[in-house]
A and B are shown apart, each in its own frame.
Chain A
Amino acid sequence: MTTLSFDEMHDADAKTRAHYAPFEAWARGLSPDVMARKRAEADLAFRRLGITFAVYGEEAGTERLIPFDTIPRIIPNAEWKTLRAGLKQRVKALNMFLDDIYNDQDILRAGRIPADEVLDNAQFRPEMKGFKVPNGIYAHIAGVDVVRAGAGEFYVLEDNLRVPSGVSYMLENRKMMMRLFPELFAQQKIAPVEHYPDLLLETLRAVAPAGVEDPTVVVMTPGAFNSAYFEHSFLAQQMGVELVEGRDLFIDHDAVYMRTTRGPRRVDVIYRRIDDDFLDPRAFRPDSLLGVPGLLKAYRAGRVTLCNAIGTGVADDKSIYPYVGEMVRFYLGEEPILNNVPTYRCREKDKLRHVLEHLSELVVKEVHGAGGYGMLVGPAATKAEIERFRAVLSAHPEKYIAQPTLALSTCPTYVESGIAPRHIDLRPFVLSGKEVSLVSGGLTRVALREGSLVVNSSQGGGTKDTWVLENGHA
């Protein structure tokens, strides 16, 4: 399977692709010693800066480095243009879908998506019905996972519309590459990504409640033991706004305040990095200590904006995913630019039969799962694992979808034995405020185990800097 994959750097004849030529020429001139030293320097710097993530299931407060690979993933300009247009189109349609299903439900009445798929979905939040959010934007920050199967052939694997993370690694990876290899950036025109926090702040300010002239924005975190805490703190710092926890906020007459050394201060926009369920113990999970009692009521009263909105999970659920192309056609009257991976909904009997017959070829995913735990990668699984999954799947077919195993593209990567191709994906971050925008790049994740297709950092994935070449290059 590995041999069939498209490699980002080399073509089928092992010749270097044009857009990688300057990099490879440079790398050839570098002694292995220098490279080893640079890689050690990167490790040390990441640890010293404390760019770590906490690991669930290990001792509380365990911090680990996400392995950083010094070989960049390079995207030619023309390909990026297509990707960018496709991403904007997709996120626009997803936001229109959310606005629609929580209000008029045109798409359901038109019969383009079965109503029960949406309304009975556990991620559909009835609390959001009949309530207009500022600018009609629900997913202000979207992290869309894209993979490549062949030349010019991109597939969207997943739309992350709740609290997508990883953008801080995109920024820190770039900073690290510029620090280690400044000469590379002098030689080539690589699109900058460093203005992401500015763009994010602009997006957040643009969706403040109506009538607020100079909105106060905050980043809300579950706390220092959350796996993405580094990122929460990093983004707050980069935007120059407060990083708050639930206990720092309180509500008075449906207005949100934060407790400060000078007394209470009004909050207008909350970039919350905490799941819907934990936002407000009065409205959702009563045992949650992370949220703010009364926040939903203040939100519904239009006194504060939550980014992302509550209830976006229904649009990125794996059971809704197959309909995204339909949303693009319905709301925008356009053909989708980016492909969806063909998807079998196991709740449909004939599909389930097909899936059960082809388990060893398919990827089976849990509908409401996240993080790569509840999935089966057929071609990489043992017989026992397949049989175990067959039992689970037969018992609860409605909880699963299946997709053909894509031959994800590979990129040369440092591994113990030297440099070898490893599978990668790409998560660009799409921002929707007054308009839809994104910086040229994203987070490239790499599956470090040979043949593995799972790139999640919690499952041993690493990251790479992602270069979009400016015009003038191939």
Chain B
Amino acid sequence: MLSRTADHLYWMARYSERAENLARLLDVTYQMSLVPHDAETERSNWNAIIALNSLQFAYAKRHDEVTATKVLHFMVRDETQPSSIYNCLRAARENARAVRGTLTAEMWETINETWLQLRDQSFDAICLGGIAAFFDWVKQRASLLRGAMFGTMLRDEAFQFIHLGALLERADNTARILDVKYHSLAGVQHGEADDLGEASDFYHWGALLRSVSAFEVYRKVYRDVITPERVAELLILREDLPRALHSCMEGIVRILGKVRNSRSDETVRRAGQLYAALRYARMDDIFARGLHAWLDDFIDAIGDLSARISDDFLVGGEPGEPTLP
């Protein structure tokens, strides 16, 4: 398929996935803010969301204090903020529109309608309807798109590049959520060991799990109390949990194997290496290295893969191609 088409499909999927993950994260942060806690914790929770997306600077330019309402507006409906849910869904739709002929009617209609509905809602209207209901709506629309994709699309290259974009974005997002949350939570955990501390631990780690739809999964897998180490293990090493890093990498390697071309050998090799590292990893080793350092490396490796995929498939230049004046 055309490189430019693949590029649009890939970014459509990335933006759509990003909007969904953002909605999940904001949702649980909001839920968590309803659990009794001190003002400092609340502020640091909202701060974490801004930090997660490296938006401290952009936020500081618009707002002088960190409050739930301001962060929510900034991350949900701020039209001037490129990473807001509003702009992610707009970018997803713009990319889809550029290649709508490649999508099935069901997919295009889903993505177009999502945008049209969001476009007409002010932030006040969203809050009036309940911000939790809004996040549910974002998640439902994402599920609908995914359902339309898996249910209607020919398993051709278009499908592969959409899937590839979604998996790369998801791997990146899960790693970032884990990184930021783990450290803010681990800090809290070591501070106090009274009853309230443990109860709030449960809620906080539970919320993190919910942000990646893994709360029930945790229960099923471990049948035990929630501990930070197991949460990290679940989100990094499980091959059968769709949002775990291992599972994402498995998909990425499989898809790269299908779309590989004459230029992609090194990309395929690096993806395979990253996958093998996850497949044969032990949590002890990761903690010995330091979770933060390990996740940092992983996020960099995903960034490297993204850049290589872009070069190999999405730009479409050829080494032998004459350069045009």
Q: Footprint of B on A, CB under 8 Å?
A: 47-50, 224, 233-234, 236-237, 242-245, 247-248, 250, 252, 258-264, 293-294
Check if B4 sits within 8 Å of A245, measured CB to CB: yes
Check if A261 sits within 8 Å of B318, measured CB to CB: no
Q: Footprint of A on B, CB under 8 Å?
A: 1-6, 94, 97-102, 105, 108-109, 112-113, 116, 157, 161, 259, 261-263, 313-318, 321-322, 324-325
In the bound complex, CA of A233 to CA of B96 (Å) = 12
Partner of B116, one of A47, A248, A259: A47
Interfacial chain B residues near A261, Cβ < 8 Å? 1-3, 6, 157, 161, 259, 261, 313-314, 316
Q: A259-B316, A263-B261, A263-B262 are in contact. Are A49 and B109 (CB under 8 A)?
A: yes
Cβ-closest chain A residue relative to B263: A263
Partner of B324, one of A49, A245, A250: A250
In the bound complex, CA of A264 to CA of B5 (Å) = 14
Check if A260 sits within 8 Å of B2, measured CB to CB: yes
Partner of B1, one of A252, A260, A264: A260
Check if A50 sits within 8 Å of B97, measured CB to CB: yes
Check if A48 sits within 8 Å of B2, measured CB to CB: no
Distance to closest chain B CB from A224 (angstroms): 5
In the bound complex, CA of A258 to CA of B4 (Å) = 10
In the bound complex, CA of A260 to CA of B263 (Å) = 12
Q: Which of A237, A250, A262, A294 has the most CB of B within 10 A?
A: A262
Nearest 5 pairs between A and B by C-beta? A259-B316, A237-B101, A233-B101, A259-B3, A261-B313
Q: Which of B3, B105, B261 has the most CB of A within 10 A?
A: B3
Interface pairs (19), CB distance under 8 Å: A48-B109, A49-B108, A50-B112, A237-B101, A243-B2, A243-B101, A244-B2, A248-B316, A250-B321, A252-B322, A259-B318, A260-B3, A261-B2, A261-B3, A261-B157, A261-B161, A261-B316, A263-B261, A263-B262
Interface of A, helix, strand, loop or mixed by DSSP: mixed
Q: Which of A50, A243, A248 has the most CB of B within 10 A?
A: A50
Check if A247 sits within 8 Å of B4, measured CB to CB: yes
Cβ-closest chain A residue relative to B8: A224
Check if A293 sits within 8 Å of B324, measured CB to CB: yes
In the bound complex, CA of A224 to CA of B93 (Å) = 12
Distance to closest chain B CB from A300 (angstroms): 19
Distance to closest chain B CB from A280 (angstroms): 12
Q: A47-B116, A259-B317 are in contact. Are A236 and B2 (CB under 8 A)?
A: no
Interfacial chain B residues near A252, Cβ < 8 Å? 321-322
Interfacial chain B residues near A262, Cβ < 8 Å? 261
In the bound complex, CA of A263 to CA of B3 (Å) = 9
Interfacial chain A residues near B3, Cβ < 8 Å? 248, 259-261
Distance to closest chain B CB from A204 (angstroms): 16
In the bound complex, CA of A242 to CA of B100 (Å) = 12
In the bound complex, CA of A258 to CA of B98 (Å) = 17
Cβ-closest chain A residue relative to B101: A237
Distance to closest chain B CB from A241 (angstroms): 9
Check if B1 sits within 8 Å of A50, measured CB to CB: no
Q: A263-B262, A264-B321, A293-B324 are in contact. Are A258 and B100 (CB under 8 A)?
A: no
Check if B5 sits within 8 Å of A242, measured CB to CB: yes
Check if A233 sits within 8 Å of B2, measured CB to CB: no
Interfacial chain B residues near A243, Cβ < 8 Å? 2, 5, 99, 101
